[in-house]
Amino acid sequence: MSDFLPACKVSDLGDGERRLVEIDDRIVVLFRVGESYYAIDDVCTHDGGPLSEGTLDDFRIACPRHGAQFDIRDGRALTMPATRATAAHETKVDDGTVYVRLSDD
Binned average pLDDT, 10 residues per bin, the chain of 105 residues: 90 97 96 98 96 97 97 98 97 98 89
The pLDDT, as a whole number, for residue 104 is 84
Q: How many domains does the chain have?
A: 1
The pLDDT, as a whole number, for residue 79 is 97
User: Over the range 28-52, which residues count as b (16 or more CB within 10 Å of their CB) and which as e?
Assistant: bbbbbbeeebbbbbbbbbbeebebb
The pLDDT, as a whole number, for residue 1 is 53
The pLDDT, as a whole number, for residue 2 is 72
The pLDDT, as a whole number, for residue 93 is 98
The pLDDT, as a whole number, for residue 15 is 96
The pLDDT, as a whole number, for residue 41 is 98
Q: In the beta sheet, which residues pair with residue 36?
A: 33
Provide the domain limits for residue 27.
4-101
By the 10 Å C-beta count (0-12 exposed, 13-18 middle, 19+ buried), 65 is classed as middle
Of 99, 3, 85, nearest to 51 by C-alpha is 85
Residue 69 sits in a domain of what CATH number?
2.102.10.10
